């Protein structure tokens, strides 16, 4: 009963705030909490939890009321490097960070 998403275009620092909130919750409570949270990361983690719940229901015949978030981890993905031109022909580097989310459910 696992689900993961790779190279999501949001920094891991922002996603870890949301992951900390839903860690050790039941799957149903976490989905209800995330549905009304006004952050971009909330919709991403909501979709990952929804995918894991559907995997559990389809593959293992589990019910959503019995499922609990066993572990959720957010790690850094690829970093896209861009430049911002400044005066005198110089440039500052812009780091566009991505994230990986791994989630597992337990009964």
Per-residue pLDDT tens listing for the chain (107 residues): 899 999 999 999 999 999 999 999 999 999 999 999 999 999 999 999 999 999 999 998 999 999 999 999 999 999 999 999 999 999 999 999 999 999 999 98
Give the span between the Cα atoms of 34 and 28, in whole angstroms: 10
pTM attached to this predicted model? 0.90
Q: What is the pLDDT of residue 1?
A: 86
Burial call 7-29: b when 16+ CB within 10 Å, e when fewer: ebebbbeebbebbebbeebbbbe
Class of domain 2-106: alpha beta
Structure tokens at 48: 């990952």
């Amino acid at each position: 009963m696992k689900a993961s998403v790779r190279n999501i275009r949001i920094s891991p620092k922002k996603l870890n705030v949301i992951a900390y909130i839903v860690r050790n919750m039941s799957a149903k409570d976490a989905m209800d909490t995330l549905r009304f949270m006004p952050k971009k990361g909330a919709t991403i983690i909501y979709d990952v939890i929804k995918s894991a719940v559907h995997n559990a229901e389809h593959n293992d015949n589990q019910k959503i009321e019995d499922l609990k978030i066993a572990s959720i981890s957010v790690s850094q993905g690829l970093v896209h490097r861009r430049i911002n031109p400044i005066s005198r022909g110089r440039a500052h580097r812009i780091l566009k960070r991505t994230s990986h989310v791994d989630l597992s459910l337990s009964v």
